[in-house]
Amino acid sequence: MIIAAASFALWQISAARGGAATPIGSFIASIVTGIEAGTSYVTNGVRAFGTSVVNLPNLSRENATLRASNAALAERNARLLNELASYREHLALRPLLERDPHAIEASVIGFPPENESRTVTIDVGSRNGVHKDDGVATARGIVGRIVAVNEFSSTVLLATDYTSRIPAVIRRGRWWGIARGNLTSIRIEFISQDAHLKIGDTVVTGEGRSFHAGLVIGRIIKIERSDELLYQSAIVKPTVDPGALNRVVVLAR
């Protein structure tokens, strides 16, 4: 131990004479540096926490402002998308409007609350020149006919209603029949047994009280034949989805 102590003392003296850091000094300096670093870390953490606490109200206000801005942007985006959809529907209706100078563009504003009948309400009426029995259509095909007219609105009986009757023609072959509403589809009745119907045949309107000839009603999805009857029938899927109506055209006669 005496030899070790003497050797350590000589090491210290040699280091001091050479101007280098002594082992004890280095050890103490390392301890002091560690303490200073720890103190600085704690101090900075406390300072940062204090700053966060002080800025918390500002951050809350900024967060609320950003949320309000995002909500406003989302609402504006939804409004623009709705306007774009309406404009596209208007463009799709232009051929009907240009073909008939008496045609009236309208929006669907109501459906029957309990679906007691297959009708919709549109936002044009007698002030706009709408009359009972006027036909109603979209760019895809017929919708139905006007059954009631008020000053500012009208009721449209859909072509799928059981009471609806429309003259119909199978486009290929020009075979005639009567289109009767079948709730979710349309049934074409009284077609001649000589008519060679095919699945997929297009059915259009014949000239009648509500429609001029040639407007699309739908396509045949089922054919019903009977040897006991003089006529055959066909089930037609309408090209217009009654549940997705928005913009329509009243074909004033």
Question: Could you tell me which residue, 70 or 81, shows the higher pLDDT?
Answer: 70
Distance (Å) of CA 208 to CA 126, 146, 150, 213, 218: 22, 14, 24, 7, 17
Tell me the pLDDT band of 133, cut-offs 50, 70 and 90.
Answer: very high
- Segment 184-211 shows an average pLDDT of 95
Percent of the chain with pLDDT over 90: 50
Is the pLDDT score of 116 beyond 90? Answer: no
* 190, 183 contact by CB (below 8 A): no
Output b/e per residue, 182-191; b: 16+ Cβ within 10 A. beeebbbeeb
Nearest to 217 by CA among 206, 228, 226, 230: 206
DSSP secondary structure code for residue 20 in this structure: P
Torsional sign, CA 83, 249, 146, 142: negative
Q: Output the average pLDDT for the chain.
A: 83
- Segment 193-202 shows an average pLDDT of 95
Tokens 């429309």 belong to 166
Q: What is the DSSP string of 202-223?
A: EEEEPS-SS--TT-EEEEEEEE
Domains of the chain: residue spans and CATH: 1-99 (no CATH), 104-253 (2.40.10.350)
Least confident of 2-11, 132-141, 205-214: 2-11
Six token digits for residue 55: 């800025």
Tell me the pLDDT band of 58, cut-offs 50, 70 and 90.
Answer: confident
Sequence-separated (6 or more) residues with CB below 8 Å from residue 241: none
Q: What is the DSSP string of 70-119?
A: HHHHHHHHHHHHHHHHHHHHHHHHHHHHHH-TTEEEEEEEE--TT-SSSE
- Segment 155-179 shows an average pLDDT of 95
Percent of the chain with pLDDT over 70: 74
Is the pLDDT score of 79 beyond 70? Answer: yes
- Segment 80-107 shows an average pLDDT of 80
Tell me how far apart the alpha carbons of residues 253 and 209 are, in angstroms, rounded to a whole number: 8
